[in-house]
Amino acid sequence: MPDTAPFLAPDDRGTEILLSIRATFAEKGFNGASMQDLARAAGISVGSFYRYFPSKAAIVDALVSLDIAEIDAAMEVIKAAPDPRAAVRAALSDRVREDRGIDNCLWAEITAAALRTSDVAGTCRRMEETIATKLTQIFALISGLSPEVCAERYGAHARYLILMVKAAASRSDQSPDPALDDMILRGLDRVLDEIPSRPAAG
């Protein structure tokens, strides 16, 4: 698909299929999992599977759509919080410390596939750009600056937050490491502290 393609939102049955194949995709890898393997995990015929997802790139696009929907909901909660900066800190802490199991393996596989497959790379890039835009909108709430100014001044801050959360999720050793989590979060906190606070009224 071209880099400008929008994310595809799967229907309810498509979502059920995605949830049923996550473990197989994570276990066998992007290249190792055949469409037959994935159809078997979903409990449907290969022909039916292809009707929902004609390629592995389409699967990744749909998985990204599900993640974006989850992130959208979290971002709306942050925007409505009395202290958006504190809400971002809490959300980042949950994301870094949470044991996401299969999800972490799955996204490590997708990140690796992005290095080899242009369609997957395009999807991952669009996902990161979408999240970065949402973060700079939150920075605008924190600072009182416009989203456009925040994108220009603090776009790299948003990309850094995304990069570090991805790196934490992609560790080869997923056993708990509280000391490392603390170090990552201190780095994220320092970057968030560089976003200025909205001037006090009056």
In tens, the pLDDT along 145-190 reads 999 999 999 999 999 999 999 888 888 777 889 999 999 999 999 9
Per residue in 80-125, pLDDT tens? 999 999 999 999 999 998 876 778 888 888 888 888 889 889 999 9
CA distances from 138 to 90, 149, 155 (A): 14, 12, 12
Q: Is the pLDDT of residue 4 over 50?
A: no
Pair 138, 86: CB distance under 8 Å: no
- Quote the distance between the C-alpha of residue 189 and its chain's center: 19
Using a pLDDT cut of 70, give the percent of the chain over it: 93
Q: Is the pLDDT of residue 1 over 60?
A: no
Euclidean distance between CA atoms 94 and 98, whole angstroms: 6
pLDDT at position 111, please?
86
Per residue in 27-76, pLDDT tens? 888 889 999 999 999 999 999 999 999 999 899 899 888 888 889 999 99
The one-letter amino acid at 149: V
Per residue in 189-202, pLDDT tens? 999 999 999 987 65
Using a pLDDT cut of 90, give the percent of the chain over it: 59
Q: Is the pLDDT of residue 10 over 90?
A: no
All domains in the chain, ordered by first residue: 56-193 (1.10.357)
Backbone Cα Rg of the chain: 18
